[in-house]
């Protein structure tokens, strides 16, 4: 499944970032158009984090709305689902600005004891 490879590369990134410390929290941003199922992502994370620097870490997810900009009237809008027509001029000459991304926002490390 798609989500598994994403989690693997996320864990790699955490590993590099943590430099031997334990990770406390991983905050990710997921665009609603990214094709990633947040539920599966979290499940995969909980499976794969065992015996990594993230083993005690929790994952926090923030969903990013889909926004489009209309090249005809220049207006920006948040759209639901996959309706990419401009709500103002009804034109189809739009471009997706956000909602396709998926990345780690930040990583919190555990305090040294
Ligand atoms: Zn428009």
Q: What is the pLDDT of residue 55?
A: 96
pTM of the model: 0.84
What's the mean per-residue pLDDT of the chain?
Answer: 93
Task: Report pLDDT for 86.
Answer: 94
Distance 7 CA to ligand 1 centre (A): 38
Q: Where are the beta strands (DSSP E) in 9-101?
A: 23-31, 58-64, 66-70, 76-79, 94-98
Question: Distance from the CA of 68 to the center of ligand 1, in angstroms?
Answer: 10
Residues in the chain: 113
Contact 72, 93 (CB under 8 A): yes
The CATH T-level fold of domain 3-109 is: hypothetical protein PF0899 fold (3.30.2320)
Task: Report CA(85)–ligand 1 centroid distance (Å).
Answer: 8
Q: Could you read off the pLDDT of 65-84 as tens digits, one per residue?
A: 999 999 999 999 999 877 89
**Ligand 1 geometric centre to CA of 77 (Å):** 9
Backbone angles phi, psi at 48, to 5 degrees: -80, -15
């Amino acid at each position: 499944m798609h989500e598994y490879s994403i989690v693997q590369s996320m864990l790699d990134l955490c590993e590099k970032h943590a430099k031997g410390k334990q990770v406390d929290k991983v905050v990710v941003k997921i665009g609603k158009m990214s094709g990633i199922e947040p539920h599966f992502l979290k499940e995969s994370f909980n499976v794969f984090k065992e015996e990594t620097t993230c083993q005690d870490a929790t994952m926090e997810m923030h969903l990013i709305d889909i926004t489009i900009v209309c090249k005809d009237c220049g207006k920006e809008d948040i759209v639901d689902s996959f309706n990419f027509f401009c709500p103002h001029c009804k034109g189809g000459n739009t471009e997706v600005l956000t909602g396709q991304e998926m990345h780690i926002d930040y990583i919190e490390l555990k305090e040294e004891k």
